[in-house]
């Protein structure tokens, strides 16, 4: 079956299995020479693809227990954040960490150790995980936590499915009083203002900047900066009649077919970016959690707007020391090429997580989308060089094309990861198209 | 969901449609009793249903092929359910069941004999109370015997006829009987078959249509309604003609 990640690039013919219980997972491990787990397929590139066996775990989605006093939940790895929100938000609980789409699975969130707009305060998804049940290469199932198999626990967070198949996880949810978010929006004129605004927002629970990456010259790096806090009962608008969780589910619209790719050129992209920049309403607003956390989810399958050849995302994190300079270089190169991104997202990251392959570290992360064309690929290689020169790293959950060198330079704890794999999967049965490409 | 529809008893609960029905009814607040040959295998699902919807959910043992098990099941039922649904089904391999009498009997028992006996017994108990809903999941395969699956089809035909008779008998006595005829459904039963996407429903879609038909007090529905129009000429074609179609 032809499969791809969210970017529709690359597309690979994979044998697909859809287990419903632990036994079927361990059977698959016993029967296939190599395999990789796959959740909702929301990683962009080739991390969740394996020709011999791609084990889709979305049917493992049962909620095993919930403690309403602590917000600790245990569920199977295929449960999506969307399901968790549907079940637990009306009871006053929200995921501690959520990426920009709620259609990811718990297993995928752990394997990528995803971050949200609150990384600077709350770290990655893994920080809130208490234990993981993992199916290993020898077909056994083990629990790992800070006390049991701690090496495996760490390596699995951000381990891109290469340590085993996550079956179940126990983790904490965050108590919230309402399903609304108090959002503050500011507009900035250039890169230094954008960075300053993010720095100033570092006490806010959530912050993120959208950058107009086609603006050049003195406007380079201008953007819109959003801050957010979960609204309290006191913030409830009067029309809610005191109901804290009243948002009717927002209808999603689907992009029906891939539009012709010429719709995306430097003129249309430039226009879109400029419109977005001007349209942003500054000041305070009370918005739904969907609007604040998941603006893109309102347009299901928006990935189709990049056309049939698909697209890739380039997300790097850059150390604080040289990030202003590095960002300036990156944005200058992109603006000069003009085939750049519809989306450019900039966030401040906090401390590095325990996973040796976990992505974020203290600094700024920039994420950009590019159509998968030869011209863009050569630009991306140049961007990689800038990232490497400044001691940055690329995010594996978004990667579809990076080279092995970038992995080695960017992830100094790679050896620690390999040692753990030597112990639990010496024959490297868990592998993906990505791990083969990167020599992982 | 009004209280007299609850609890919902699902016979064949480990099937994909059975489990999807459990979610649809629990979402509407109904308590659940799930009958299955191996009730332990439902443990994770019962916890999931309780955690998600805050409803009570329990399982009960029932082996449709075993008359003693059926009797024990009926005795062990804690209450007269407000709603009972039979999703039980066994496709079997037509070719094998042409010569393997045991398999043929299993197909007939699972698709017709056992569900009809169980629904009859429960109908009598509902009559004592004067309310309730009985839902039988039959199949479009029961609308016409076909060379490729007439054993399964004939059992489903018997079940459909049983349900329409039961409906006629109970109509005036406060008990609603719904016959469901799914077309292709993307389940374990059909995994590996090449099914046309426009004619294939997901288990959740089928479950939602069933609940809608239940609440709308419909008598017979085809799930994915377009199957009604596909089956119409197939039902009406004269036998000599139909036999000549390699269908
Ligand atoms: C619109 C959009 C916005 C996004 N925003 C963010 C963001 O803000 N922050 C962020 O960090 N990420 C973001 N992402 C990326 C996304 O959060 C990650 O790619 C996430 O891992 C996807 O989860 P999934 O269930 O779809 O996993 P998949 O894409 O199916 O798999 C991703 C990886 O997880 C592994 N995996 C999945 N399930 C299991 C399992 N059960 N056991 C072992 N390994 C498993 C796979 O092998 C693969 O390596 C975004 C993605 C999209 C599409």
Nearest residue of chain B to residue A79 (CA atoms): B48
User: Which residues of chain B lie closer than 8 angstroms to A76, CB-CB?
Assistant: 44
SS3 assignment, position B43: helix
- Measured over the CA atoms of residue A151, residue A153, residue A154 and residue A159, the dihedral's sign is positive
Q: Residue A182: which H helix or E strand, with range? A: strand A180-188
**pLDDT at position A264:** 55
Percentage of residues of chain B with pLDDT beyond 70 = 98
Mutation pick for ligand 1 pocket among A6, A108, A165 (CB with most ligand atoms within 8 Å):
A108
- Contact between chains at B51 and A21 (C-beta distance less than 8 A): no
Nearest residue of chain A to residue B187 (CA atoms): A18
Give residue A113 CA to ligand 1 midpoint distance, Å: 8
What digits encode the pLDDT tens for the residues B124-172? 999 999 999 999 999 988 888 888 889 999 999 999 999 999 999 999 9
Q: Are A134 and A141 in contact (CB under 8 A)?
A: yes
Q: Which of A359, A358, A364, A322 is nearest to A344 (CA)?
A: A364
What digits encode the pLDDT tens for the residues B168-226? 999 999 999 999 999 888 888 777 777 888 788 899 999 999 999 999 999 999 988 87
| pLDDT < 70 positions in chain A | 247-276, 340, 342-343
Packing angle of the helix pair B150-170, B101-108 (nearest 10 deg): 30
- Cβ of residue A65 closer than 8 Å to a chain B Cβ: yes
Structure tokens at A113: 């150790």
Mutation pick for ligand 1 pocket among A53, A397, A407, A429 (CB with most ligand atoms within 8 Å):
A397
Q: What does the mean pLDDT of chain A come to?
A: 92
Q: Are A360 and A116 in contact (CB under 8 A)?
A: no
| CA A437 centroid distance within chain | 20
Residue whose Cα lies nearest atom 39 of ligand 1: it is: A107
**pLDDT at position B3:** 52
Q: How far apart are CA A26 and CA A43, in angstroms?
A: 24
- Cβ of residue A63 closer than 8 Å to a chain B Cβ: yes
Burial of A367 (0-12, 13-18, 19+ CB in 10 A): buried
Give residue B155 CA to ligand 1 midpoint distance, Å: 46
Instruction: Supply the pTM of this predicted model.
Output: 0.93
pLDDT of B231 higher than 90:
no
Q: How far A272 CA sits from the closest chain B CA (Å)? A: 36
- Cβ of residue A21 closer than 8 Å to a chain B Cβ: yes
Burial of B58 (0-12, 13-18, 19+ CB in 10 A): middle
Q: How far A66 CA sits from the closest chain B CA (Å)? A: 7
**pLDDT at position B192:** 74
* B93-112 average pLDDT score: 92
Q: A322 CB contacts (<8 Å, ≥6 apart)?
A: A390, A391
| DSSP notation for A350-404 | -S--SSTT----SEEEEEEEEE--HHHHHHHHHHHHHHHHTT-EE-TTT-SS--H
User: Which residues of chain A lie closer than 8 angstroms to B47, CB-CB?
Assistant: 62-65
Neighbour tally for A231: CB within 10 Å: 22
SS3 assignment, position A347: strand
């Amino acid at each position: 079956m032809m499969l791809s990640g969210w970017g529709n690039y690359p597309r690979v013919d994979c044998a697909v299995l859809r287990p419903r219980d632990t036994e079927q997972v361990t059977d698959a491990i016993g029967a296939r020479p190599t395999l990789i787990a796959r959740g909702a397929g929301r990683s962009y590139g080739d991390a969740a693809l394996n020709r011999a066996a791609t084990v889709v775990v979305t049917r493992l989605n049962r909620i095993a227990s919930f403690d309403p006093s602590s917000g600790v939940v245990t569920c199977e790895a295929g449960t999506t954040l969307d399901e968790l929100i549907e079940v637990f938000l009306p009871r006053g609980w929200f995921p501690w960490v959520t990426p920009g789409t709620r259609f990811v699975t718990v297993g995928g969130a752990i394997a990528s150790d995803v971050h949200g707009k609150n990384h600077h305060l709350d770290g990655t998804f893994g920080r809130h995980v208490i234990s993981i049940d993992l199916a290993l290469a020898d077909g056994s199932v083990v629990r790992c936590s800070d006390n049991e198999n701690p090496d495996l626990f760490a390596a699995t967070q951000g381990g891109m499915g290469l340590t085993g198949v996550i079956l179940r996880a126990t983790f904490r949810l965050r108590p919230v009083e309402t399903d609304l978010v108090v959002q503050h929006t500011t507009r900035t004129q250039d890169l230094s203002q954008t960075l300053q605004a993010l720095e100033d927002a570092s006490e806010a629970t959530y912050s993120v900047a959208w950058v107009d990456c086609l603006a050049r010259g003195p406007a380079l790096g201008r953007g819109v900066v959003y801050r957010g806090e979960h609204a309290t009962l006191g913030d409830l608008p009067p029309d809610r009649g005191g109901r804290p969780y009243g948002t009717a589910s927002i209808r999603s619209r689907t992009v029906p077919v891939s539009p012709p790719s010429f719709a995306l050129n430097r003129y249309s992209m430039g226009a879109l970016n400029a419109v977005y920049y001007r349209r942003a309403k500054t000041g305070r607003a009370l918005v739904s959690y969907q609007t604040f956390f998941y603006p893109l989810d309102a347009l299901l399958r928006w990935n189709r707007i990049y056309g049939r050849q698909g697209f890739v995302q380039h997300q790097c994190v850059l150390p604080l020391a040289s990030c202003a300079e590095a960002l300036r270089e990156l944005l200058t190169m992109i603006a000069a090429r003009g085939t750049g991104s519809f989306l450019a997202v900039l966030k401040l990251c906090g401390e590095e997580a325990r996973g040796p392959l976990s992505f974020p570290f203290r600094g700024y992360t920039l994420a950009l989308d590019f159509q998968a064309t030869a011209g863009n690929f050569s630009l991306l290689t140049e961007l990689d060089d800038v990232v490497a020169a400044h001691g940055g790293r690329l995010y594996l959950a978004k990667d579809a094309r990076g080279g092995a060198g970038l992995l080695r330079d960017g992830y100094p704890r790679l050896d620690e990861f390999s040692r753990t794999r030597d112990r639990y999967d010496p024959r490297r049965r868990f592998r993906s198209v990505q791990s083969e490409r990167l020599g992982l | 969901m009004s209280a007299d529809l609850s609890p919902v008893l699902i016979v064949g609960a480990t099937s994909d449609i059975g489990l999807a029905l459990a979610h649809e009814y629990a979402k509407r607040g109904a308590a659940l009793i799930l009958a299955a040959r191996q009730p332990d295998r439902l443990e994770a699902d019962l916890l999931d249903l309780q955690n998600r919807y805050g409803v009570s959910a329990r399982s009960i043992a029932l082996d449709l092929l075993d008359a003693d098990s059926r009797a024990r099941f009926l005795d062990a039922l804690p209450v007269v359910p407000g709603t009972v649904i039979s999703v039980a089904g066994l496709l079997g391999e037509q070719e094998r069941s042409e010569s393997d009498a045991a398999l043929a009997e299993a197909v007939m028992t699972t698709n017709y004999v056992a569900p009809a006996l169980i629904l009859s017994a429960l109908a009598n108990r509902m009559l004592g109370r004067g309310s309730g809903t009985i839902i039988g999941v039959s199949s479009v395969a029961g609308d016409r015997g076909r060379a490729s699956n007439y054993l399964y089809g004939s059992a489903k035909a018997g079940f459909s006829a049983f349900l329409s008779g039961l409906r006629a008998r109970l109509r005036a006595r406060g008990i609603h009987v719904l016959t469901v005829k799914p077309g292709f459904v993307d389940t374990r039963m059909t995994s590996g078959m090449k099914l046309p996407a426009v004619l294939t429903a997901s288990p959740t879609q089928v479950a939602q249509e069933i609940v809608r038909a239940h609440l709308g007090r419909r008598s017979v529905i085809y799930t994915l309604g377009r199957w009604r129009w596909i089956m119409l000429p197939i039902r009406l074609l004269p036998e000599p003609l139909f036999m000549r179609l390699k269908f």
